[in-house]
Amino acid sequence: MFSHLRKPDFEHFQKTLFNKTNDYIPLIELGIHPEMREKIFGRPATSVKDEIAFMRGLGYDYIKVQPGIHIEINRSIAKNANVAVDRSWSSEHDGVVQDWESFEQYPWATSSDLEYSRLEEAGKLIPDDMGIIGQYGDIYTTVWEMLGFENFSMKMYEDPDLITAMFAKIGELVVSMFETMASMDFVKVLWYSDDLAYSSGLMVSPDFYRENLFPYMKRIGALAKKRNIPFIFHSDGVLYDVMDDLINDIGITALHPVEPISMDMTELKERVGDKLCLCGGIDVDQLCRAEPEHIREMTRNFIHIAKDKGGWCAGSSNSIPEYVKPENYLAMIETVLKEGKW
- What is the set of domains in the chain, with CATH numbers? 10-65+131-140+166-339 (3.20.20.210)
Average pLDDT by stretches of 10, the chain with 342 residues: 89 95 90 96 93 97 94 52 47 81 95 95 98 98 96 96 98 98 98 97 98 98 98 98 98 97 94 94 98 98 82 96 98 97 80
Kindly write down the DSSP assignment for every residue of 199-267, as one continuous string.
TTEESS-HHHHHHHTHHHHHHHHHHHHHHT--EEEE--S--GGGHHIIIIII--SEEE---TTTS-HHH
Q: How far apart are the first and last CA of the chain?
A: 23
**What confidence score (pLDDT) does residue 74 get?**
52
- Phi/psi class of residue 91: alpha, beta or left (left: φ > 0; alpha: ψ in -120 to 50)? beta
Amino acid at 276: L
Report the alpha-carbon distance of residue 321 to residue 129 in Å, rounded.
Answer: 27
**What confidence score (pLDDT) does residue 89 get?**
47
* Nearest residue to 48 (alpha-carbon basis) of 182, 254, 186: 186
In a 10 Å sphere around its CB, with 0-12 CB exposed, 13-18 middle and 19+ buried, how is residue 228 labelled?
exposed
Beta strand 201-202 with 312-313 is unpaired
* Nearest residue to 216 (alpha-carbon basis) of 164, 158, 161, 279: 164
Amino acid at 242: V
Paired residues of 233 in beta bridges: 192, 255
pTM: 0.94
**What confidence score (pLDDT) does residue 83 get?**
44
Buried b (16+ CB within 10 A) or exposed e, 76-87: eeeeeeeeeeee
**What confidence score (pLDDT) does residue 310 get?**
64
